[in-house]
Structure 1
C-alpha cells in the first residue's frame, strides 16, 4: 500500500513528496544565487483551489473578481477550475469530496445544498471567522440566509440570487400604450390581463407579444411553471419515503395557462431558448421570460429594454430563483491557514460584487444592494425586489438547478406545452416519476 502525507490539506504520494522536496531544494539553491524576492517570493503564496461552473459572461466576470482578490492578497493565490454546468459538475464535486481530493472552495447552487450537506460532503461555515472578515447574517436578505442553513448550521454563503424575470422592449411597450407616466410597464394582475397586454404588443411587432423558448430544456419550463405555481400560494413537499405533496389544481391551472400562451400569436408555438432570445433581441416580440443572467446579451444588443419580476397573476408574489453560493468541500486533512484564506477570498468577492450585478444577478451581500451605485444600475435595480419573493426549489436530494429532476419535468410537460397532451396527464406522470425518486436513497 502506498504511503501518503498531506501538504496544505492535499493528499500526495510519498514519491510525489520526495520529488517535491528535491524541487524545493533546487529552488532554495536558486534563491541563494538570485537573492530574496522575485520568483522565490511569489512561490510562497498559498494556493487555493476553487471549482465553479460559471461560463460565458459569468465566467469572465468571476475571473476578473478572482484576479482582483489575488492582487489584494499576496499571501494566497486562488486557482479556479471551471467544469461543465449541470449533473457533470455536481457528480465530480461529490466524487472529489468523497475521495479526499476536493478543492478548498467551490460554487454550488443553493438548491443543491440539501443533497450534499447531510452526507458530510461539505462542511459548515464558522460564523465567527466570517465575522472577522466583515460578513454577518444581517448582511443578507432573510430568505437567502435562511436557505443557507441545514439543521441549524450554515452550509453555504450566497453570492447572489438570480431570478427568472420578464424583460420588455420599452419602445414596443410605449407604442402599444402600455407604459405608465414614469415610463415603467403597467401592472397586470390576472392571466387574462397578461394575455391582453401581450396581444397589444403583438400588434406593434407583427411577430409575437412574448418570447419564451423551452424546447428540450426542462430547466426553462420548470422556472416558469414554478413561478406561477408559487403565485398560487402553493407548496411542494418532498419527504423521503413518502409520496410528493402538492396542490394538483394549482399545478394544472399553471400548466394550462402556460400552454395557452403558445398560440403563434402571443408566443411561438414551439422554439428553443436561443430562438426565443434572438426573436426578442431583433424586436420581433415585446417581452421575454428568461433569467436576469441574460442582461449582458441585452446590453450588447443595445436594446431599449427594461425588466421586472414576472407579474403576479395568481395573488401571491413569487419569482423562481436560485443562488450561486460558496461551499467548503470536506477536507481529509484541513489546513487552518488555507481555510482562513478561503474565508478572506469569499469576503472580498462579496464586497466587490457590484461588478457581479452588472451581469444581471442580484448581489446577496446587502451593503451592495443598498448602495447608491447599485440603485443607479438600470434595469437591474428594477427587479431587485425578487430577492424578497424568491421561490427556491423544493428540497430533496434530487431537486435543484442542473438536476435530472428538471429534465424529467420536461419529459412529461413538453407535450403539454405543444398541445399534444392534457395538463392533468402530464402533471400526474411527473408526480409518479417524482414518487419513484422519493423512495430511493440519496446516492451521495
Structure 2
C-alpha cells in the first residue's frame, strides 16, 4: 500500500495474533501440495470461460494500479474474468485460512513474502513450481534474496510481484539551509548531517520511533553489522549478539544525543516529517506517492550504511495459489495465466510506488523517472526475513517489544534485546512443534 501503509504494523499485529489461532486448526502437511492435481500447465489457457476470485489487500493508493492491470488482463483474455476482492491486510490474513478450510477461498491471491511459509506449513497455499518452470522464471530475473525467500521445504509457494524497502527521506530545504549538498551514505556523513542540521536550528532533525518502523530499522542495522537476526536451522534469535546490540545502541544513541525526542509515538515521525517539522526520516517506499502529493520539498535515497555492509530490510508482495477442497483444473491454469501476465506486465505496478521484482521489467525502463528509481539501484542489498513459519508473530511479540523498551529507555539496550532474543527463540521452538516441522 502507499500512504495508508504506515499503519500496517498495527493492523498486522491483529492479523498475526488472530491468524495464528486459525492456522492451528488446519492440518500441517510439511509444505506438500496435498491433492491439488491440475492438468499440465502450458503457459496458455484455452479452456472454457471461467471467473477467478482474486484476493488482495491493496486498499490504498496502490489499489487503482492493480485494478487497471486487472482490467487490462480481462480485456485481453475473453475466456478469463478476474474479479478483485480487496480488503485490509489484517482482515485478509484472518479470513484466508478459514475460507480455504471451508472451501470458500479465492482462486488466486497475493500476500506478503513473510507470510508465505506460515501459510505453506498449514496447507493454506500450494506449490507453484510448475508455473515458475514453464515461464522459465529463475533467480537470474530477480534478486537471489527475494527469489529464495519464496521457497519453503524445497518447494516454491510465491511468485514475486515487487519489492519494497525502507528508504531515507530528507527535507531538501533543511539540507540547503544547513549547507548539506549530498545525501548521507554512511555513519560518518549521517552523523555530520545531523550535527549541521541541529546547528542550523533544526533541534531534533531525526525522530527515532519507538514502534513501527523502528524494528525494521533495527533489522536493517543488524544486517549492516554482519548479523543474522534469525537462525532458522537452530530456531534461535540473535538480537542480543554483538551485531544486534550495536544496532540497538545506535538507535538509542540518536535519542541520548538529542537528535530525537525521547518518546515518539507510532506514525508521529512520518507526520512530523511530512509537516516539515523534522529533517530526515526512514520509512517505506510506500510513502512516496503520499509525499509527492503533499507538496513537501523532499528527496529520497537509500538508507545510509551505518555498519560495515550495505543492507536494508525489505518485503515483497507474492502471488500464490490457495488449496482448494474441490480443485478445478481450468481455474487453476487460468489463475497461473493471470499471475504470469501480471508478472510480465508489472511495469504498470511501478506507478504504485513499488519496485517491480523482475530485473527484465526494470531493465526495460519501468522505473525511468520514477521516485523509487534511486532506491531500486540498491536492490541487491535488500534483505528479507527467512521462510520460518510463524515468523510474523515472533517479530510482533519479541523484537518489536525489545526495540520499543530500549528506545523508550525502559530497559538498557542489552537487557531489552537479551529478553527479546530469549523469548523469540522460545517461540521459534514452539512454532517448530506447532507447525509440524
2-structure distance, mates of 1:74, 1:263: 62
Matches within 5 A, 1:321-400: 321-377=314-370, 379-400=371-392
**Root-mean-square deviation (Å):** 2.6
Q: 1:84 aligns with which of 78, 88, 92?
A: 88
Deviations 1:361-399 (A, max 9, x none): 11102222112342322x311010342112212442121
Q: Secondary structure at the match of 1:167?
A: strand
| Matching residue of 1:301 | 294
2-structure distance, mates of 1:376, 1:239: 39
| Matching residue of 1:116 | 119
2-structure distance, mates of 1:245, 1:186: 28
Label 1:250 to 1:70 Cα distance change in 2 as closer, same or farther (>3 A): same
Q: Secondary structure at the match of 2:114?
A: helix
Report whether the alignment pairs 1:418 with 2:420.
no
Q: Which moved more, 1:254-263 or 1:434-443?
A: 434-443
Runs of at least 5 residues in structure 2 that lack an aligned partner in the other structure: 1-35, 37-47
Q: Secondary structure at the match of 1:74?
A: coil
Matches within 5 A, 1:142-181: 142-180=144-182
2-structure distance, mates of 1:237, 1:269: 28
Q: TM-score w.r.t. structure 2 length? A: 0.81
Q: Are 2:101 and 2:325, in contact at CA under 8 Å, matched by a contact in 1?
A: no
2-structure distance, mates of 1:72, 1:109: 27
Deviations 1:218-276 (A, max 9, x none): xx121000000000111134447854456622111111110111258422322234321
Matches within 5 A, 1:16-165: 45-86=49-90, 88-127=91-130, 129-130=131-132, 137-165=139-167
Q: 1:291 aligns with which of 284, 287, 292?
A: 284
| Matching residue of 1:34 | none
1-structure distance, mates of 2:147, 2:333: 21
| Matching residue of 1:195 | 191
Deviations 1:307-331 (A, max 9, x none): 1221111111101001010011112
1-structure distance, mates of 2:119, 2:434: 9
Q: Are 1:240 and 1:438, in contact at CA under 8 Å, matched by a contact in 2?
A: no
Label 1:326 to 1:392 Cα distance change in 2 as closer, same or farther (>3 A): same
Deviations 1:93-150 (A, max 9, x none): 22233333321111121122222223332111144x4565685553322222222222
Label 1:161 to 1:96 Cα distance change in 2 as closer, same or farther (>3 A): same
Label 1:54 to 1:132 Cα distance change in 2 as closer, same or farther (>3 A): same
Label 1:72 to 1:303 Cα distance change in 2 as closer, same or farther (>3 A): farther
Residue 205 (structure 1) shift: 5.6
Q: TM-score w.r.t. structure 1 length? A: 0.80
Give the count of matched residue pairs.
388
